[in-house]
Amino acid sequence: MPTHLNQYTLGRTLGSGVSCKVKLAKDAAGTRYAIKIIHSSETFEELIQTEVEALTQLQHVNIVRLVEVNQGMQVNPKKGSKNVKYIVLELVGGGELFDFVALGGRLSESTARHFFKQLMDGLKYMHDNGYVHRDLKPENLILDKDFTLKVSDFGFAAPVGGRDGSGLLQTQLGTASYMAPEIHLNKPYEGAKVDLFASAIILFVILTQRPPFSSANPKDPHYRLIAANHADVFWQAHAEAEEGNDIYSAEFKDLFEKMLALNPGQRPSIEEVMAHPWMQGPVPSAQEIHDDFTERKGKVDAEAHNERENKRAQRGAAAGKRGGNVHRGTGADEDEEPAENQADAWASLEVEEYGPYYIQGYTQFFMTSDPMEYFQDLVTYLQSKNIDYRISGSNLRLKFNTTIAVDAEEEEGEEEVKQAEQSVKVDIQLLKVNDHKSAVKFSYRDTETKRDVHSNSSMNHYIEMRDAEPLKIFNDTTFDE
Q: Which residues are catalytic?
A: 135
Q: How far is Cα 386 from Cα 319, in angstroms, rounded to an integer?
A: 21
Q: How far is Cα 281 from Cα 248, in angstroms, rounded to an integer?
A: 14
CB of 364 closer than 8 Å to CB of 439: yes
- Residue spans of beta strands (DSSP E) within 393-470: 397-407, 419-434, 437-446
What amino acid occupies position 375? F
Burial 309-348 (b: 16+ CB within 10 A, else e): ebeeebeeeeeeeeeeebbbbbeeeebbbbbeeeeebbee
Reference 358, options 319, 397, 391, 324; nearest CA is: 397
Terminal CA-CA length for the chain? 55
Cβ neighbours for 270, distance < 8 A, ≥ 6 positions apart? 120, 123, 124, 127, 192, 196
Sign (positive/negative) of CA torsion 100, 249, 240, 378?
A: negative
Neighbours of 223 (CB within 10 A): 21
DSSP sequence for 265-325: GGSPPHHHHHTSGGGGS----HHHHHHHHHHHHHHHHHHHHHHHHHHHHHHHS-GGG--SS
Q: How far is Cα 227 from Cα 248, in angstroms, rounded to an integer?
A: 19
The full length of the chain comes to: 481
Neighbours of 360 (CB within 10 A): 16
Q: Tell me which DSSP letter residue 209 carries.
A: S
Is 428 in a helix, a strand, or coil?
Answer: strand
Q: What burial class does residue 226 get, using C-beta atoms within 10 Å of its C-beta: 0-12 exposed, 13-18 middle, 19+ buried? A: buried
Kindly list the distances between the CA atom of residue 31 and the CA atoms of 9, 10, 27, 199, in Å, as whole numbers in the listed order.
11, 12, 6, 32
Residue 74, strand partner residues: 5, 82
